[in-house]
């Protein structure tokens, strides 16, 4: 059956070939009689018999095409498929077709099931060597791919943002900012109108949580409301008052902590590797602090991006600036790596893959990862683009040294870090040599320990055998005695290793500070296409560069001496880059409205959502760049808009036409993220320390990297509960797989990969945590004690006070009465029969504790109105 189809194919194709001859005069290639003869006799039949089934127009039509390669036209063969050109006339040894026929180990052997005879292969070699004359004109079958680069350039997100004049609106007195004109115009188109403004106390609460991640103090609320009311419906005065307040909030360090954390979500920040060897990243905190500090200082976002990708290559004027820029590159080094991977080349390409995906997702809002194996199915991203980027990262050394952990040496365990601090240059080299020595010594110690353990196991086995009746007792006992002596020898050796390590640590040379990051490799190189992503199946090398779709004009070839990271960073932050600013302002919009203008936060490609307000998105992007990529100016203009201050949909007057609030005619309640939730509870309870931890207080510094006996399990030694500390949540260690309990329960951004928008789950495990955990009880008890210590207040005053602290408002009379009724009853506590029964004071504290706990657990505390 198959045979007869092929015969038919030969006939059809031969016919086409003959017809083709008629057209030859017009073809690009002149072909001699002799050449055609050779092709028709020696080449075409082989192609038809062995290749067309998977590589022809017919195969395309039947969905059988493999590797995006067609060989039934000259164009198809020359253009090639996923792996690049199949035939390079005159260069047989560089032609993939010949390599495949020869079963070269670097490419997929073809035909897949049988190697062709040496005679046939010699024919192909001769044919290619003499110019691969091919009479088969006509276009190759159109293989359906994603958007071409040309089509892509017309797709909305690849067209650079345009300056758009704000539209006219009917309610001309409503807008406070151009943003409002864009928003209102859409509503008017829909026949909708905005809900009223929210109450001033709720507006300040919203601002305080959004900008700082903390509740406002009752005094702040009182002051703001008084100022607002004093402006007494005079829009300009109110606007001024609001602007003053916003500027005060923007100036606080907590802004950097709040907005830095948003960036850490997409940067998949973590203090440990996760995955198969969850070693600590002892020095990751420097990157975290860099991010917080940069957002606090309003460093331009384009500069932050450049520093994170190529900080080590940027000029500096002071050692501090040099350090800061070096630390920024920690961004590229923080990924989760498969240290168990035993093939170094696979490991290397996996690290590169993670970096490519990181940069493309976080900066461009595109996923490039699938191009590792094939051209993107939807977006104008080619495999060649992927490997152009891969060359850049392949020419980059990732400094993800986790310090000597004493784990067994593999191709990838290393102590690579970069020195920072005033003495970085002076102490760096010796410091690194010392780290390497410690790692070697730790490894030797641990190897001795496992060798000793092996004998211990053998003794145990022998003893088991000894218990059996058929055992050769004498021989076994002799063995055991010998092995026990051996263990004693090992004891001495292990002890010696331990002491040597101790001595080395006691006599440590002065150390510089260490940071993760990247640097240039000594030799930079382009990356060859890995066919189907396989490290053993290499195609053509692709010159280093960025995605073609964002490379607009004056594409500068990468200087072969450098990796190309600097050029990449520049191309990502150029004004005419269509994506970077849009993606960033869209995320800011999400954090302030609970919904992106493009709802697929990290997919701005063909499969992603289209913007609900495309002109607004462009307006924000252009304005953001005009304002020097200032995050603070961007946030300021949004929160001063009328749209931001709308009430939540609590009024039933306006029937809800738009359940998802696409048109922003009101504000939807937003749930506090876990860090904000935790910080808010601690803030009300009076247990929050707003000062950042010093580097000595950095949680992981309590663990000695050279001592921990984790090499056996590769797992952290502490429990989630032991991670608690009085500082803000952004400073809690993010140990992959061992997050603080509350983080796991309340949808913290998974640090395994970039997260642009967090999940929002409601599960009983959260309720159980808020009902029963010792943590919540402890915080509630602190809050209760704090209230009871306010001796100038009576119970009504105390209830009012906690409502002000927790909800930024006073209780209405029913709430006050209900609260007092609750507090008047005796707490029904579990009592230990042996313990003394609780005193009335204790029971009163218990009752206030459970009252405060109920407030913390309530929806009002967690949902931002």
Partner 1 sequence: MDKFKTLSRRQLLQTVSAGFGYVAFAGLAAEAAAREAGGPLTSKAPHFAARAKRIIFLCMRGGPSHVETFDEKPQLLADHGKPGKSPNSKLLGSRWKFRRHGESGLSIVELLPETGRHADKLCVLRGMHTDNENHPQALEQLHTGSFQFVRPSLGAWTLYGLGTENQNLPGFISINPLSALGGLRYYSNAFLPAAYSATLLGDANRPVKNPTVGNLANKRLTTAGQRQQLDLLQAMNRELADQTSDPRVEGLIESYELGFRMQDAMPKVMDISTETKETLAMYGAAGGPTETFGRQCLLARRFAEAGVRFIEITHTEWDHHGFLTSGMTNNCQQIDRPIAGLLTDLEQRGMLHDTLVIWGGEFGRTPDDPTTDGRGHNNKGYSMWLAGGGTRGGFAYGATDDHGYEAIEGKVHIHDLHATLLHLLGLDHEQLTYRHGGRDFRLTDVHGRVVTEIVG
Residues 716-775 that bind partner 1 (CB under 8 A): 719, 737-738, 741, 747, 750, 752-753, 759-769, 771-774
Of 55 and 670, nearer to partner 1 (C-beta) is: 670
> Among all chains, which residue has been given the structure tokens 């977006």?
379
In the complex, the smallest distance separating the C-beta of residue 481 from partner 1, rounded to whole angstroms, is: 20
Cα 749–Cα 662–Cα 758 angle in degrees, nearest 5: 5
Least Å from the CB of residue 765 to partner 1: 7
Number of neighbouring beta carbons within 10 Å of residue 668: 17
858 binds partner 1 (CB under 8 A): yes
Least Cβ distance, residue 667 to partner 1 (angstroms): 11
Q: Which of residues 610-629 bind partner 1 (CB under 8 A)?
A: none
Alpha helices in 667-792 (DSSP H): 674-685, 741-745, 764-772, 774-788
- Cis preceding linkage at 111, omega within 30: yes
- Cα R_g (the chain), whole angstroms: 34
Least separation in angstroms between residue 776's CB and partner 1 is 9
Q: Which of 461, 576, 790, 794 binds partner 1 (CB under 8 A)?
A: 461
> Do 339 and 275 contact (CB within 8 A), yes or no?
yes
Angstrom distance (rounded) from CA 387 to CA 390? 4
Among 274, 401, 404, 578, binds partner 1 (CB under 8 A): 274
**What minimum distance in Å lies between the beta carbon of 165 and partner 1?**
32
Of 285, 279, 499, 286, the residue nearest 403 (C-alpha):
279
- Per rule CB under 8 A, count of chain residues that contact partner 1: 71
CB of 863 to partner 1, least distance (A): 7
Closer residue to partner 1, CB minimum distance, 830 or 835: 830
Smallest gap, in angstroms, from Cβ of residue 773 to partner 1?
A: 5
What gap in Å lies between CA 539 and CA 525, rounded to an integer? 15
Six-digit token string for 824: 């008047």
Rounded to a whole number of angstroms, the minimum distance from the CB of residue 761 to partner 1 is 3
List binders of partner 1 among 658-677 (CB under 8 A).
668-669, 671
DSSP 560: T
Q: Helix axis angle, 795-807 relative to 813-824, nearest 10°?
A: 120
Residue ranges in 493-532 that form contacts with partner 1 under rule CB under 8 A: none
Among 701, 747, 751, 741, CA closest to 721 = 741
Sign of the torsion angle spanned by Cα atoms 723, 724, 726, 732:
positive
Taking contact as CB under 8 A, which single stretch among the options 268-276, 408-416, 434-442, 685-693 is the one that binds partner 1? 268-276
Cβ nearer to partner 1, comparing 148 with 607: 607
Cβ nearer to partner 1, comparing 515 with 723: 723
Question: How many Cβ atoms sit within 10 Å of the Cβ of residue 230?
Answer: 11
Minimal distance, residue 723 CB to partner 1, in Å: 15
Cα–Cα distances in angstroms (integers) from residue 707 to residues 186, 404, 502, 625, 717, in the given order: 62, 9, 9, 49, 12
CA nearest neighbour of 355 among 398, 301, 385, 323: 398
Considering beta carbons, is residue 701 or 850 the nearer one to partner 1?
850
Which lies closer to partner 1 via its Cβ, residue 39 or residue 769?
Answer: 769
Please give the backbone phi and psi of residue 788, each rounded to the nearest 5 degrees, phi first: -65, -25
Q: Beta strands of 655-719 (E only): which ranges?
A: 670-671
Residue whose CB is less far from partner 1, 138 or 737: 737
Residues 416/421/422/423 CA torsion (nearest 10 deg): -30
Query: Which listed range, 195-203, 460-468, 569-577, 634-642, lies at the site for partner 1 (CB under 8 A)?
Result: 460-468
Binding partner 1 by CB under 8 A: which of 714, 796, 810, 844? 714
CB of 579 to partner 1, least distance (A): 17
| Helices within 577-671 (DSSP H only) | 580-593, 614-626, 631-639
The nearer residue to partner 1, 2 or 653, going by C-beta atoms, is: 653
Residue 315 or 859: the one with the smaller Cβ distance to partner 1 is 859
Q: Which residues inside 567-606 make contact with partner 1, applying CB under 8 A?
A: 600, 603
Residue 396, SS3 per DSSP: strand
Site string for partner 1, 807-846 (x = CB under 8 A): -----------x---x--x-xxxx---------------x
Cβ nearer to partner 1, comparing 599 with 687? 599
Rounded CA-CA distance 585/582 in Å is 5
Q: Which is nearer to partner 1, 502 or 761 (CB)?
A: 761
Output 129 or 829, the one with its CB closest to partner 1.
829
**Rounded-to-integer distance, Cα 860 and Cα 850, Å:** 17
> Binding of partner 1 at residue 276 (CB under 8 A)?
yes
- Evaluated on CA atoms 594, 595, 597, 599, the torsion sign reads positive
309-338 binders of partner 1 (CB under 8 A)? 338
User: Closest separation between CB of residue 465 and partner 1, Å?
Assistant: 9
Is 687 a residue that touches partner 1 (CB under 8 A)?
Answer: no
Shorter beta-carbon distance to partner 1: residue 39 or 281: 281
**17: helix, strand or coil:** helix
Which residues between 774 and 793 bind partner 1 (CB under 8 A)?
774, 777
* Interaction of residue 197 with partner 1, rule CB under 8 A: no
Q: For partner 1, give the closer residue by CB, 288 or 736.
A: 736
Q: How far is the CB of 461 from partner 1 (least distance, A)?
A: 5
Smallest separation, CB 864 to partner 1 (Å): 11
Name the DSSP class of 280: B
Closer residue to partner 1, CB minimum distance, 174 or 453: 453
**DSSP bridge partners of 487:** none
Assess 715 for contact with partner 1 (CB under 8 A): yes
Residue of 650, 689, 709, 790 that binds partner 1 (CB under 8 A): 650
Q: Are 403 and 705 in contact (CB under 8 A)?
A: yes
**Which of helix, strand or coil describes residue 1?**
coil
Q: Which is nearer to partner 1, 42 or 668 (CB)?
A: 668
Q: For residues 658 and 452, give the distance between their C-alpha atoms in angstroms, rounded to a whole number.
A: 70
Residue 105 near residue 118, CB atoms below 8 Å: no
CB of 285 to partner 1, least distance (A): 23
Residues 366-405 interacting with partner 1 (rule: CB under 8 A): none
Which of the stretches 20-28, 199-207, 243-251, 852-860 binds partner 1 when contact is defined by CB under 8 A?
852-860
Of the pair 131, 344, the CB lying nearest partner 1 is at 344
Write down the least CB distance from residue 231 to partner 1, Å: 26
* Binders in 336-365 for partner 1, by CB under 8 A: 338, 340-342
Least distance to partner 1, CB of residue 798, Å: 16
- Least CB distance from residue 576 to partner 1, whole Å? 27
Name which position in 278, 303, 355, 757 contacts partner 1 (CB under 8 A): 278
C-alpha to C-alpha distance for 284 and 329, rounded to whole angstroms? 11
Helices 218-231, 200-212: crossing angle, 10 deg rounding: 130
Contact 56, 67 (CB under 8 A): no
CB of 378 to partner 1, least distance (A): 9
Residues from 415 through 454 that contact partner 1 (CB under 8 A): 454
Interface pick for partner 1 out of 186, 322, 619, 865 (rule CB under 8 A): 865
Report which of 775, 772, 784, 776 is spatially closest to residue 822, judged by C-alpha positions. Answer: 784
Q: Which is nearer to partner 1, 556 or 818 (CB)?
A: 818
Quote the CA–CA distance of 293 and 837 in Å, as a whole number. Answer: 52
Ramachandran category for residue 715: left, alpha or beta (phi over 0 → left; psi -120 to 50 → alpha)? beta
DSSP 370: G
């Amino acid at each position: 059956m198959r045979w007869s189809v092929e015969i038919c194919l030969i006939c059809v194709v031969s016919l086409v070939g003959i017809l083709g001859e008629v057209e030859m005069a017009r073809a690009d290639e002149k072909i001699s009689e002799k050449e055609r003869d050779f092709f028709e006799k020696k080449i075409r039949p082989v192609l038809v018999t062995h290749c067309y089934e998977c590589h022809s127009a017919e195969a395309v039509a039947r969905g059988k095409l493999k590797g995006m390669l067609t060989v039934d036209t000259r164009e198809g063969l020359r253009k090639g498929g996923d792996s690049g050109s199949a035939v390079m006339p005159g260069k047989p040894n560089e032609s993939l077709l010949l390599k495949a026929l020869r079963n070269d180990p670097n490419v997929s052997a073809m035909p897949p099931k049988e190697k062709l005879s040496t005679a046939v292969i010699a024919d192909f070699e001769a044919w290619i060597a003499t110019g691969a004359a091919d009479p088969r004109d006509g276009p190759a079958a159109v293989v359906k791919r994603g958007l071409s680069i040309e089509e892509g350039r017309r797709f909305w997100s690849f067209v650079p943002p345009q300056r758009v004049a704000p539209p006219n609106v009917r309610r001309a007195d409503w807008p406070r900012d151009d943003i409002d004109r864009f928003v209102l115009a859409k509503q008017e188109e829909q026949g909708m109108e905005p809900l009223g403004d929210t109450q001033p106390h709720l507006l300040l609460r919203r601002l305080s949580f959004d900008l700082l991640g903390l509740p406002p103090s009752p005094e702040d609320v009182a002051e703001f409301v008084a100022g607002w009311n004093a402006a007494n419906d005079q829009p300009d005065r109110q606007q001024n008052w609001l602007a003053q307040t916003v500027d005060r909030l923007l100036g606080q360090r907590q802004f950097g902590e709040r907005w830095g954390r948003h960036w850490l979500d997409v940067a998949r920040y973590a203090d440990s590797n996760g995955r198969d060897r969850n070693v600590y990243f002892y020095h990751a905190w420097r990157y975290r602090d860099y991010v917080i500090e940069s957002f606090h200082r309003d460093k331009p976002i384009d500069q932050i991006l450049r520093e994170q990708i190529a900080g080590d290559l940027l000029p500096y004027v002071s050692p501090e600036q040099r350090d800061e820029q070096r630390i920024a590159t920690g961004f590229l080094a923080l990924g989760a790596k498969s240290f168990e991977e035993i093939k170094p080349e696979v490991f290397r390409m996996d690290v590169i893959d993670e970096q490519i995906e990181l940069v493309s997702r976080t900066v461009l809002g595109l996923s490039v990862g699938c191009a590792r194996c094939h051209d993107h199915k939807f977006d104008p991203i080619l495999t060649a683009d992927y490997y152009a980027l891969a060359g850049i990262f392949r020419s980059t050394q990732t400094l993800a040294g986790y310090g000597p952990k004493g784990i067994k040496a593999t191709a990838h365990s290393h102590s690579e870090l970069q020195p920072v601090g005033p003495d970085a240059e002076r102490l760096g080299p010796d410091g690194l040599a010392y780290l390497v020595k410690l790692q070697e010594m730790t490894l030797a110690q641990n190897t001795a320990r496992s060798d000793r353990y092996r004998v211990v196991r053998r003794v145990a086995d022998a003893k088991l055998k000894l218990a059996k009746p058929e055992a050769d007792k004498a021989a076994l006992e002799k063995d055991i005695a010998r092995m026990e002596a051996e263990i004693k020898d090992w004891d001495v050796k292990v002890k010696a290793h331990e002491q040597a390590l101790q001595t080395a640590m006691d006599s440590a040379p002065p150390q510089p500070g260490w940071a993760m990051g990247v640097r240039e490799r000594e030799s930079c190189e382009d990356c060859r296409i890995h066919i189907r992503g396989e490290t053993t199946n290499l195609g053509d090398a692709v010159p280093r560069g960025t995605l073609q779709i964002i490379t607009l004009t004056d594409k500068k070839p990468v200087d072969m001496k450098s990796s190309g990271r600097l050029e990449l960073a520049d191309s990502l932050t150029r004004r005419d880059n269509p994506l970077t600013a849009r993606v960033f302002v869209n995320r800011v919009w999400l954090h302030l409205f609970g919904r992106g203008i493009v709802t697929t936060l990290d997919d701005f490609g063909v499969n992603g959502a289209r913007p609900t307000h495309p002109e607004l998105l462009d307006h924000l992007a252009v304005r953001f760049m005009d304002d020097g990529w200032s995050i603070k100016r961007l946030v300021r203009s949004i929160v001063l808009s009328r749209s931001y201050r709308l009430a939540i949909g609590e009024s039933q007057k306006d029937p809800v036409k738009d359940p998802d609030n696409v048109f922003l005619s009101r504000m939807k309640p937003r749930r506090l993220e876990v860090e904000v939730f935790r910080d808010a509870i601690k803030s009300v309870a009076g247990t929050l320390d707003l000062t950042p931890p010093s580097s000595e207080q950095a949680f992981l510094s309590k663990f000695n990297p050279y001592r921990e006996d984790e090499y056996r399990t590769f797992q952290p030694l502490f429990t989630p509960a032991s991670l608690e500390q009085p500082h803000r949540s952004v400073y809690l260690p993010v140990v992959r797989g061992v997050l603080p309990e509350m983080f796991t329960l309340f949808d913290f951004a998974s640090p395994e990969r970039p997260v642009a928008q967090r999940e929002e789950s409601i599960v009983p495990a959260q309720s159980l945590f808020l009902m029963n955990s010792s943590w919540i009880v402890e915080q509630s008890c602190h809050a209760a004690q704090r209230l009871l210590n306010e001796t100038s207040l009576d119970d009504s005053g105390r209830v009012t006070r906690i409502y002000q602290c927790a909800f930024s408002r006073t209780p209405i009379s029913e709430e006050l009465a209900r609260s007092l009724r609750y507090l008047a009853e005796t707490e029904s506590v579990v009592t230990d029969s042996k313990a003394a029964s609780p005193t009335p004071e204790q029971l009163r504290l218990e009752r206030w504790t459970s009252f405060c706990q109920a407030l913390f657990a309530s929806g009002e505390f967690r949902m931002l109105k």
